[in-house]
Structures are given as structure tokens and as C-alpha cells.
Amino acid sequence: MRLEDEIKQVKAFTSEYSKAAVNLIYTYNWLDSFSKVFFNEYDITSQQFNILRILKGQHPNPSTINLLKERMLDKMCDASRLVERLRIKGLVERSKASTDKRAVDIFITKKGEQLLAKIAIKFPEFERKFLTLTEEEVADLNKLLDKLRG
């Protein structure tokens, strides 16, 4: 559906650039709403999912809060708070770093890996949101988004 119809806009945008900015914000919120519902089934947030995926990719090597901050998709998140919530759920472990006594090593647990495996089974359901686009269109979209962030 056209953006103007979605937001019930009567007047035209002042420019295609203005429309693109509003469209990106609107689309981000649309996708964010869907992801909240999707991840709620697993009692985690999309940011917590992101941390678990980073930790799984690092496994068996430890991660630090700084590494997580660098690699997270949402740069505004409080990684320490997210890690603590995941620790309480038994999905990650924290231990004193062997090299720097001020740092903490963070590892995904077996329970965390099992949760990711469970999510992976239903993740194609999440990806179906993109099936209105062809594979070529998705590749073009990715290139354009990369170019925009330039």
C-alpha cells in the first residue's frame, strides 16, 4: 500500500527525499511492531535476540560488553542491562575476564543456543514479510540502504 494511503496524507510531500525519510521511519515502525509480536512468543526482545546471535557467532570465544555494543544493530541500547536480563533467564553467563580484571566475559549458554534453534525454525515466518519483493528487488533495496548510510 502507498505511504500516503497508509498515513492518510492528503497533501503531496514537498519532495521525494521528504517522502523517503517518512517512508523509512514508517516502515521501521511497521517492522518493529511485527518483530515485537514475533519475539514476544519467546519472551525476548529483538535486541536480546541480536545479543544472543552475536554470542553464538563468537562461541566458543568470549564476548565483552564493548564487543556487543560495537556489533549490535541498535546502537542506542544499554548492552549491560540486556545482558543482565539474559543472564537472569539463564541464556547467557558472565565471568571475570582472565586478561582484564575490570572486564567481564560473556558466553551464550546451552539454554540460549536451544532458544536460538527454536527461533530458527519459525524465523522464515518473520522473513515472509519480505516476500512481496522479488529476490532482485531485495538485493536492490539492500544496495540502496547501504548507499544511503554511505
Q: Looking at the predicted structure, is the pLDDT value of residue 34 above 80?
A: yes
**Domain that residue 128 falls in:** 44-145
Does residue 150 lie within any of the structural domains?
no
User: 85: phi > 0 → left, psi -120 to 50 → alpha, else beta; which?
Assistant: alpha
How far lies 15's CA from each of 4, 7, 18, 66, in Å? 13, 17, 5, 40
| Residue-wise pLDDT tens digits, 85-141 | 999 999 999 988 667 667 789 999 999 999 999 999 999 988 888 889 999 999 999
Quote the number of domains for the chain: 2
pLDDT for 130 equals: 86
What percentage of residues in the chain have a pLDDT greater than 90? Answer: 69
Cis previous bond, 62, omega within 30: no
pLDDT for 110 equals: 97
Buried-state track 114-139, b at ≥16 Cβ within 10 A, e below 16: ebbeebeeeeeebeeeeeeeeeeeee
pLDDT for 97 equals: 66
User: What's the mean pLDDT in 1-30?
Assistant: 87
**C-alpha dihedral, 83 to 84 to 90 to 95, nearest 10°:** 80
Does residue 22 lie within any of the structural domains?
yes
Does residue 91 lie within any of the structural domains?
yes
Residues 6+ apart with CB under 8 A from 76: none
If asked whether residues 52 and 87 sit together in one domain, one would say: yes
If asked whether residues 30 and 54 sit together in one domain, one would say: no
